[in-house]
Amino acid sequence: MVLGVKVGKRNAEVVRRALRAAGLIDPRFRVLRDEEHVYFPILGSPGPGVLEGIEYELVDMEFPVKRRRPRDFIELLEGELSDLELAAVPRAIDLVGDIAVIELPDELLEKGEVIGRAIMRFYRNVRAVYAKRPVRGVYRVRELIHLAGERRTTTIHREYGVVFKVDIARVFFSPRLGWERARVANLVRPGEVVVDMFTGVGGFAIHIARRVPCRVYAIDINPDAYRLLLENIRLNRVEGAVHPYLGDAREIVRQGLMGVADRVIMDNPSMSHEFVDVALDALKREGGTIHFYHFESGERPVEEAVNRFTSLVEACGRRVRNIRYARKVKSSAPYEWLIVVDGEVG
């Protein structure tokens, strides 16, 4: 039984304010109502003056316990997993549209369904949960293991007003790069020509074309990424601005995009060091900006990336005029970072 205050509906709001001001409402329980009365669970009798002049009754009654929203999906797993297992569940998950992706250690895979269901209970809009394995191959695609919910890998992801149709089993897509895509799009000036050499489903290209009138050449070698790029161009209504190409960036640039660009985006961090000559070919003769993405794991990863970029540019006989910006974008593995370098090249 819990102590409560019973008041007529007419006085309920005044009483609620007075009890709250006196710190008397018991937050563990829900307020109850019937046709004529409201019942407030309280921590102790209202002292003199608290409800002065108001007709009320003190009652002992059952109040339903308030259901508190859990802190995170891990809390929902307490009692289902051992303490050791709980400690090993990664806190970070990727939400791509209505699909959740988690990097589960091998020893937790047999608990994958329980973990997947907890994720779906916590994130009410999630319809499917997968465990991801490391990215592989030229297309940078991940093997996925279904944990819970629908067996569907296609979804619509929204970020900064841009819509992406994605198939997480067939293309690379990271929601953690949303801020970075928006950052680069904000640097583009009207009328610029941009080459997005490794566009995936159109990540940078579509952000840019949505934000500023310009021309973006968007290239990817993965036919599934290209198919989704075409859909995303249409979904975001940037048909005139984004020009899609399927194929190897080296060949596409050499076949028709030599010396056209004010800006080149090189988001293929495991391979971009092999394509700096291609990015320089795509840049206008008078120079422009290159956004160089690379994985680094040394003591000073940002300096490593800047030095790597500078020496690769110089090895091609061009000059880095200025490093406008360089920073860690995200961690990519234990002791490894994705680094971006914005370099102005002459």
Ligand X SMILES: C[S@@+](CC[C@H](N)C(=O)[O-])C[C@H]1O[C@@H](n2cnc3c(N)ncnc32)[C@H](O)[C@@H]1O
Positions that interact with ligand X (CB under 6 A): 138-140, 172-173, 177, 181, 198-200, 203-204, 219-222, 225, 248-249, 267-268
For ligand X, the closer of residues 109 and 138 by Cβ is 138
Shortest distance in whole angstroms from residue 96 CB to ligand X: 11
For ligand X, the closer of residues 56 and 172 by Cβ is 172
* Neighbouring residues of 70: CB distance < 8 A, sequence distance ≥ 6: 76, 122
Shortest distance in whole angstroms from residue 219 CB to ligand X: 5
Shortest distance in whole angstroms from residue 216 CB to ligand X: 12
Shortest distance in whole angstroms from residue 153 CB to ligand X: 15
Shortest distance in whole angstroms from residue 191 CB to ligand X: 23
For ligand X, the closer of residues 10 and 136 by Cβ is 136
For ligand X, the closer of residues 115 and 201 by Cβ is 201
Q: What length does the chain have?
A: 346
For ligand X, the closer of residues 16 and 250 by Cβ is 250
For ligand X, the closer of residues 118 and 208 by Cβ is 208
Residue among 207, 215, 230, 228 at smallest CA distance from 139 = 228
Shortest distance in whole angstroms from residue 334 CB to ligand X: 19
Q: Which residue is nearest to ligand X (CB)?
A: 203
Residue whose token pair is 């293929």:
268
Shortest distance in whole angstroms from residue 205 CB to ligand X: 8
For ligand X, the closer of residues 262 and 267 by Cβ is 267
